[in-house]
Chain A
Amino acid sequence: MSEAPLIELEGITKTFGTGPAAFQALKGVDLAIERGDFVAVMGPSGSGKSTTMNILGCLDVPTSGVFKFRGVEVQSLSRDQRSLLRRRYLGFVFQGFNLLARTTALENVELPLLYRGETKKARREAAERSLDKVGLLPWATHTPAELSGGQQQRVAIARALVTDPDVLLADEPTGNLDSERSIEIMELLADLSKTGITVLMVTHEEEMAEYARTIVHFRDGLVERIDRGLKAGASA
């Protein structure tokens, strides 16, 4: 635990708009996340949790402050450099699944590898491995329309995992699922975090957050409270 945290936020602010219409979504967030942690980010809407996730996902840059990922100051990187960072180290899972329609599960999972310039054979093998991890290999040739919500989300997780990312970012991953499917997804994420992947998840459901080892509570653009060493952590 002596090495520097994987993710460090120092005095992060984010302001949308300018002049009188300006809205400060983040007002100075400090946060450190260790490698291999399973973090749930909670808070009411408008508390800044989504904005923080966008910054952590290198999709957005803070207005001020320092965001270090693997020791690199992300806020000063260009758009393309952040893309390369996402491509190499991050995997995304969204509330709305965001799979490509009319595209098979396997092709969806292969997608990130296309941008890595992998050969067709390597893409296929990695995608099949990844689909197998989420238990959907038999559904490889099905399109999203032929899959249930829970299955679609598992395909999305397989897509996020196919590049062996350091961090999996999940934005309300169970938001569109019933409770039974939600539990399946959460158990999958908890299992993944045990394999060493750092999982960052935004949720507003207490039951889902309970799977995490660390819960970060947001309120009014600030970190209100951090609960560390919870249930999942005990089993590690």
Chain B
Amino acid sequence: MRMLGSTLLLAIREIRRHLLRSFLTTLGIIIGVASVVTMVTLGQGLTADVQDDLAGLGSDVFIVFPRQPDINVPRRPFEEEDIRAVRNQIAGVQFAAGAVFSNATAFHNGQDWQTSVNGASREFFSAQNIDIGEGRSFTDQEEDRGESVCIVGTTLVEKIFVEDQVLGEEMRLNNVSCTVIGIADERSGSNIGGGNDANDIVYMPLKTVQRRLIGSDDIQFFVVKYDPSYSTITIQNQLVDLLRERRVVQDGEDNNFDVIDSQEISDTVGGIFQAMTGVVAIIAAISLIVGGIGIMNIMLVSVTERTREIGIRLAIGALAKEVRLQFLTEAVVLCCFGGLIGIGIAFGLSVMLAGVMDLPFLFNPALNIGAFLFSALMGVAFGYYPAHRASKLDPIDALRHE
């Protein structure tokens, strides 16, 4: 242990003696570590950002869309009865809630704004993790009767309302007027029914939108919330069987609807981003390998240059393994310094780039510790051969070396 301490001391002394050369030697490791850590940090930020968007779909939720089996056959929407059947006939389903989307122009205070209208229910809000920040949600009566009440998104508030004069105000959607009863909390991501901004939206009871705005009882899609203690696959299979029967799909024919598992989407997309991050990290890691080769190169030069010194050390009684340890320690210490500097640079770079790219900055301790340990490992891997060469020198020849 004391031997290791003095070896460490020697190594640091040697590195300090050739400060510029040491820095240039380890530059490859610095760049390698900095790029790997930056890439992975940003990649994880991006993944988290996308998954955060997808969290808007809710968890333990299926989203069911009609599908056009053939270009000549019109898309068949769902009916109120379908949803009731799903709710009543499949064990484990907590609720099923239909929804419709439409576009409309919102008018208020002489301002107008093109926005999306989502006909929905409180159950839909809960499945989609939509929270009402100010005001209230719909009542049973408002939902059952299709009353003219609405909940607005924050973007819309910004565009056509005066701050603090939102709740209780009357606004007009196309030619339907409604009373604003609530403001939805800000959410990230886009609308399930279209539109890039999840906050540029008006929620109204499903029946209100069907009757007053669209003029049809069709349901464009619905969400099914299930008890997570039930098997996802079982519920999904029952759902598919029930809908095939209700929508008269013959055996052997494709489904004329799609059942999408929100968790599956989130996992799939998260997996894709993770894989992309991995690929980019591997490409960046190549520079780390190149850096390691640089370390080996300089260590070999250093061994040749210091042959006489090695001869002196051997003559005064250094063991082969002590000489090996000395050079190995030098390489490892160099790489560790490189790793630390690289991690520092990566931190600064990640914070900066995350800011520029509008991504969350997620500090990953495991990644940073891993990068540091990996650079130390590079020191061992690429420092071993030069150190071994040094330890095998003949003291007499080494002392004679000019």
A residues sitting closer than 8 Å to B (CB atoms) are 54, 57, 59-60, 79-80, 83-88, 90-92, 94, 98, 100, 102-103, 111-112, 114-115, 117, 119, 159
User: Is A83 within 8 A of B318, CB to CB?
Assistant: yes
Contact of B319 among A84, A88, A119 (CB under 8 A): A84
User: Which of A83, A87, A98, A102 counts the most chain B CB atoms within 10 A?
Assistant: A83
Q: How far is the CB of A50 from chain B (nearest CB, A)?
A: 9
In the complex, which residue of chain B has the Cβ closest to the Cβ of A86?
B317
A-B contact pairs, 22 of them (CB 8 A): A80-B319, A83-B314, A83-B318, A84-B317, A85-B317, A86-B316, A86-B317, A87-B318, A90-B317, A91-B316, A94-B399, A98-B308, A98-B311, A98-B312, A98-B399, A103-B13, A112-B317, A114-B10, A115-B313, A115-B317, A119-B2, A159-B316
User: Is A80 within 8 A of B315, CB to CB?
Assistant: no
User: Is B314 within 8 A of A102, CB to CB?
Assistant: no
Q: How far is the CB of A201 from chain B (nearest CB, A)?
A: 16
On chain B, the residues within 8 Å of A98 by CB distance are 308, 311-312, 315, 399
On chain B, the residues within 8 Å of A59 by CB distance are 315, 395-396
Give Cα distance in the complex from A59 to B318, angstroms.
12
Q: How far is the CB of B312 from chain A (nearest CB, A)?
A: 5
User: Is B319 within 8 A of A83, CB to CB?
Assistant: yes
User: Is A87 within 8 A of B316, CB to CB?
Assistant: yes
User: Is A117 within 8 A of B3, CB to CB?
Assistant: yes
On chain A, the residues within 8 Å of B13 by CB distance are 103
With known contacts A60-B396, A100-B312, A115–B320 Cβ distance under 8 A: no
Decide yes or no whether B309 CB sits under 8 A from chain A.
yes
Contact of B318 among A85, A90, A115 (CB under 8 A): A115
Give Cα distance in the complex from A94 to B311, angstroms.
12
Contact of B320 among A80, A87, A100 (CB under 8 A): A80
Q: How far is the CB of B295 from chain A (nearest CB, A)?
A: 22
Contact of A115 among B17, B311, B322, B399 (CB under 8 A): B322
Q: How far is the CB of B15 from chain A (nearest CB, A)?
A: 13
Contact of B316 among A54, A80, A102, A111 (CB under 8 A): A111
Decide yes or no whether B6 CB sits under 8 A from chain A.
yes
Q: How far is the CB of B197 from chain A (nearest CB, A)?
A: 65
On chain A, the residues within 8 Å of B315 by CB distance are 57, 59, 86, 92, 98
On chain B, the residues within 8 Å of A117 by CB distance are 2-3, 6
On chain A, the residues within 8 Å of B10 by CB distance are 114
User: Is B2 within 8 A of A92, CB to CB?
Assistant: no
Q: How far is the CB of A185 from chain B (nearest CB, A)?
A: 19
Give Cα distance in the complex from A53 to B399, angstroms.
14
In the complex, which residues 289-329 of chain B have their Cβ closer than 8 Å to any Cβ of chain A?
308-309, 311-322
In the complex, which residue of chain B has the Cβ closest to the Cβ of A50?
B396
Give Cα distance in the complex from A91 to B319, angstroms.
16
User: Is B309 within 8 A of A92, CB to CB?
Assistant: no
Q: How far is the CB of B388 from chain A (nearest CB, A)?
A: 14
On chain B, the residues within 8 Å of A115 by CB distance are 313, 316-319, 322
Give Cα distance in the complex from A102 to B6, angstroms.
18
Q: How far is the CB of B160 from chain A (nearest CB, A)?
A: 76
User: Which of B10, B317, B396 counts the most chain A CB atoms within 10 A?
Assistant: B317
On chain A, the residues within 8 Å of B320 by CB distance are 79-80, 83
In the complex, which residue of chain A has the Cβ closest to the Cβ of B309?
A100
Extra 6 A-B pairs, beta carbons < 8 Å, given A112-B317, A114-B6: A59-B396, A80-B320, A83-B314, A94-B399, A98-B315, A117-B3
Q: How far is the CB of B5 from chain A (nearest CB, A)?
A: 9
User: Is B317 within 8 A of A83, CB to CB?
Assistant: yes
Give Cα distance in the complex from A59 to B322, angstroms.
17
In the complex, which residue of chain B has the Cβ closest to the Cβ of A91?
B316
On chain B, the residues within 8 Å of A88 by CB distance are 317
On chain A, the residues within 8 Å of B6 by CB distance are 114, 117
Q: How far is the CB of A55 from chain B (nearest CB, A)?
A: 10
Q: How far is the CB of A224 from chain B (nearest CB, A)?
A: 24
In the complex, which residue of chain B has the Cβ closest to the Cβ of A87?
B317
On chain B, the residues within 8 Å of A114 by CB distance are 6, 10
Per-residue 0/1 for B1-45: is the Cβ within 8 Å of any A Cβ (1 yes, 0 no)? 011001000100100010000000000000000000000000000
On chain B, the residues within 8 Å of A111 by CB distance are 312-313, 316
Give Cα distance in the complex from A106 to B315, angstroms.
19
On chain A, the residues within 8 Å of B313 by CB distance are 111, 115
User: Is B309 within 8 A of A112, CB to CB?
Assistant: no
Give Cα distance in the complex from A21 to B312, angstroms.
30
In the complex, which residue of chain A has the Cβ closest to the Cβ of B318?
A115
On chain B, the residues within 8 Å of A60 by CB distance are 396
In the complex, the 9 A-B pairs of residues with the closest C-beta atoms, listed nearest first: A87-B317, A86-B317, A112-B316, A114-B6, A117-B2, A98-B312, A59-B395, A92-B315, A83-B319
With known contacts A54-B396, A59-B396, A102–B317 Cβ distance under 8 A: no
In the complex, which residue of chain A has the Cβ closest to the Cβ of B315?
A92
Per-residue 0/1 for B108-133: is the Cβ within 8 Å of any A Cβ (1 yes, 0 no)? 00000000000000000000000000
With known contacts A54-B396, A102-B17, A117-B3, A92–B316 Cβ distance under 8 A: yes
Q: How far is the CB of A211 from chain B (nearest CB, A)?
A: 24
Give Cα distance in the complex from A142 to B284, angstroms.
46
Q: How far is the CB of B321 from chain A (nearest CB, A)?
A: 8
In the complex, which residues 331-388 of chain B have their Cβ closer than 8 Å to any Cβ of chain A?
none
Q: How far is the CB of A33 from chain B (nearest CB, A)?
A: 20
Give Cα distance in the complex from A52 to B316, angstroms.
18
In the complex, which residue of chain B has the Cβ closest to the Cβ of A117?
B2
